[in-house]
Each structure stands twice: as C-alpha cells, then as structure tokens.
A = this chain, B = another copy of it.
C-alpha cells in the first residue's frame, strides 16, 4: 500500500504542483469515500488546491501529461465517486473553503467548493436565511460535492434539491479553462442549461471552484409531527394520505422499525417501543399550524400514536432520530447505503419489495426514506468483515435496482452513480441516452482525464 508513483507523467505533475502530498496514510485516506467501496490500490498523490489558480494549474498539467484526476471535496460520498486508486492523482479542493459573500437582500451566497454545507447555514442564519438542500451529512460534506452529486436532503420535499438552489457556477475544465455557467438572476434561458449539466456530473465534466447559491427566508413557523405505526405499510399509507390531502410538508421522513431500534440503542431514545415504523413530518410557513392539523387528520386512521409539537427543542430531538439513522446502523455492521427513487405512491410497494429481497437473499436491509419524494435509502447491513460490493450484498443491491426500475423508479435519487451503480445505469437510461452522455463527456473532457470510470 505504499508504492511510489512510477508513471513519469504523474511524477512530472506532482513535482510541478504546489501543496502535494505523497504520504501513504493520506493517500490511503483519499482512496475511499463513505460508500464502503475499497479500490484495489491507493492514488499516487494528492494535490491540495489552495486557490483557483492551483486547480487551473493542476488540470492544465494533467491534460499535458494525461494524468487521471479524481476531484475530491469532503469525501463523504456514498457512490465511490471520489474513490481513487493507483495511477490517479486526487485533486482535493477542501481548502478552498471561503464564504466569499452573502447578500441578504438578494438572498444569495457566493462560496468556494470546500465550504461545508452546515457552514453555509450557520453563516446565513443570522440574516434569517437558509440554504435548502440539507443532506443528513450537512456537518461533514462540502458544497462542491453537493453540486457534483445534486445532493438532496429532508427539506427537499418542499424546497427542491441542489439544482434548484444553485444559480451559477465557476468550473475549471479539463484543459484548465474557466467556464461560467448559469447566472445570478433567478430566471434565465440564454443558451443551453450548462449549469444543470454540471450539477450532478460527479466531477466528470469539470471541477467546481465557485458556486452562487440561492438562499431562502427561514420560515417563521414550523410545526412538527412524529407518528408511530404498527408496520411500514401503515406508515407508507399515511405518507400517501398526506400527499393525497394536498399538503406540502417541508419534511416527510420514514424510518422502519429495525432502524428505530438501532437509533434507540445509540441515542438512548425509546422510539421503537412506540411502533414498528415512524414518520416525521414538518409543515412550515405562516400556515404551519393549520397545515399540521390537516396532516394529523390525514394520518390518524393509520397511526398507533401521534406526537405534535411546535417547540423547537423537541422538534430538533425528533429530527435527530432521522439524522442519526445512518451512524446508528453503522454500529451494527458494514453498511451500503442505497438510494433508490420510486413514484411516491409506490412507497409501500418498495418497502414490501425490499422485505422480499431480504427473504430471498438473506441480506439484512433497513429502510429510511424521504417519503414525500419517493426517495428510499435501503441500508444493506453486513458483518464488519463482509464485503458490501461482492457476494450476497451485491446481489441484493442489483435486486434493489431492479425493484426500483420495476416500480417506475430510478437507481439513485441523490447520491449519484459513482463507481457502485455503473453496472445498472444503461439499463435505466437506455443506450441512446448513454451514448449522447458519453459524447457530451468527450466535448468537455476530450482526453478523459476527469474522474475516469465514474458516473456515466
């Protein structure tokens, strides 16, 4: 695991760049993200960019020497997108971490890619504003990574995903040129939507070095409901009833019984004693309390018990159950975090289908979900020494993707394709679409040096 760079191009690049590390430990850390995927080797080196010029220079040299570059933000990705192996150089942009400006009147923030998601919200909160896309990893993931994966979160039920909150970008292309995409106005249709093309492109089209974010007014009122159900099917029915009642929850999260028990074990809470499935719903805005009442009426027929609160502290405790779900499961074993999307009325079918996959494969699958968007995170948990990318876990993963597709869904709602889901992408989007995407990739990155083998 400590092989030195042998390739002369890589050597030349690492020699010419500033802030390079070839320390084996750092390289080993930079070889993985949080997906559990373990590449065969480790990257040859890491460039820690400290300025946009550093990024430009690295990519210019990478083009010159044909060095495969893996852009890396905070490394919290769940698809292997920032995983790197021998022959790769990691371009780490986490030190580009300045909030450049906040415009409270226009409700925009300009930030560098290494700024953490939670830092944006901390800085904008004092103006009564927030940045809506809130991955559960908010405290540890970067805006650049969010852009590259079109990250979602709980508030996306009402406020949309990253794409709906990123107005414009500065992107360093493979040859070192700086592209501006989007615009700083809310609307605009001058030319093709390159901004949306970069968002979700997983570091394969360019390296994001600046983002202009759309902020939103923090809602003055928020009302929270926690409901417990006898089984996941009842909770899924309740979620559908909320949509059917034409309520727009700001948050609507589903947690199954197994996950609740894991959360209780970690947090010392007692959710699982109250039911075998859980829905967390928040309404916000001027009508939060009224809307909460309608929501409670809609779910009452399905629930064992319902707790309502408009106290911020108690609400935060309830939200914590959801935020801690993943860490809690990780205490049980190695976790592969799925991310399928289905039409939201198929939530119950999806939960049922996942139970059948467990029955068939023997692989344990826990389920949490952004219920209002039909975005499920099936959590495959295996023993700490078992593989999550081979054997039964991989079989279960494949079955999971086919389940999503059978239900009219998608294999990734917000985590991206990365390395882990490439085998199933063509099946979903079709060969014609994939072919066009490869040609677009070639337009942006003719030498194929940007995150090769990832995404499309």
CA–CA, A411 and B432, complex, Å: 34
A161 touching B187 in the complex, CB below 8 Å, given contacts A197-B192, A246-B218: yes
- B341 touching A152, Cβ below 8 Å: no
A106 touching B189 in the complex, CB below 8 Å, given contacts A218-B246, A436-B179: no
Chain A contacts with B in 326-376, Cβ cutoff 8 A? 341-345, 370, 373-375
A187 touching B152 in the complex, CB below 8 Å, given contacts A177-B432, A179-B436: yes
Rounded to whole Å, the gap between the CB of A250 and the closest CB of chain B is 12
Q: Which residues of B contact A203 (CB under 8 A)?
A: none
CA–CA, A291 and B150, complex, Å: 32
A412's partner among B189, B197, B205, B286 (CB-CB below 8 A) is: B189
Q: Which residues of B contact A188 (CB under 8 A)?
A: 341, 410, 412-413
Q: Which residues of B contact A184 (CB under 8 A)?
A: 343, 408-409
Rounded to whole Å, the gap between the CB of A288 and the closest CB of chain B is 7
A185 touching B286 in the complex, CB below 8 Å, given contacts A193-B197, A197-B197, A248-B217: no
Copies assembled:
2
Is the CB of A183 closer than 8 A to any CB of chain B? Answer: yes
Q: Which residues of B contact A434 (CB under 8 A)?
A: 191
CA–CA, A149 and B342, complex, Å: 29
CA–CA, A429 and B286, complex, Å: 39
- B443 touching A436, Cβ below 8 Å: yes
Interface-central residue, A128, A191, A342, A344, by most chain B CB under 10 Å: A191
Is the CB of A301 closer than 8 A to any CB of chain B? Answer: no
Rounded to whole Å, the gap between the CB of A39 and the closest CB of chain B is 22
A217 touching B196 in the complex, CB below 8 Å, given contacts A106-B345, A185-B343, A413-B189: no
Is the CB of A65 closer than 8 A to any CB of chain B? Answer: no
Rounded to whole Å, the gap between the CB of A182 and the closest CB of chain B is 10
Task: Please choose the segment from A44-52, A94-102, A386-394, A414-422 that sits at the chain B interface, where 4 or more of its residues have CB less than 8 A away.
Answer: A414-422
- A373 touching B193, Cβ below 8 Å: no
- B179 touching A432, Cβ below 8 Å: yes
A416's partner among B128, B156, B189, B286 (CB-CB below 8 A) is: B189
Is the CB of A88 closer than 8 A to any CB of chain B? Answer: no
CA–CA, A193 and B412, complex, Å: 13
Bits for A398-442, please: 1 = Cβ < 8 Å to B, else 0: 000000000011111111110001000100111011101101110
Rounded to whole Å, the gap between the CB of A314 and the closest CB of chain B is 22
A286's partner among B149, B191, B285, B341 (CB-CB below 8 A) is: B285
Q: Which residues of B contact A413 (CB under 8 A)?
A: 185, 187-189
- A189 touching B200, Cβ below 8 Å: yes
Is the CB of A190 closer than 8 A to any CB of chain B? Answer: yes
CA–CA, A255 and B274, complex, Å: 56
A196 touching B163 in the complex, CB below 8 Å, given contacts A187-B413, A439-B443: yes
A440 touching B443 in the complex, CB below 8 Å, given contacts A160-B164, A164-B164: yes
Known A-B contacts: A107-B243, A181-B433, A193-B196. Give 7 more (CB < 8 A). A160-B164, A185-B343, A190-B411, A191-B434, A217-B246, A285-B285, A287-B288
> What are 5 inter-chain pairs, A to B, with CB distance below 8 A?
A107-B243, A156-B187, A164-B164, A185-B342, A248-B285
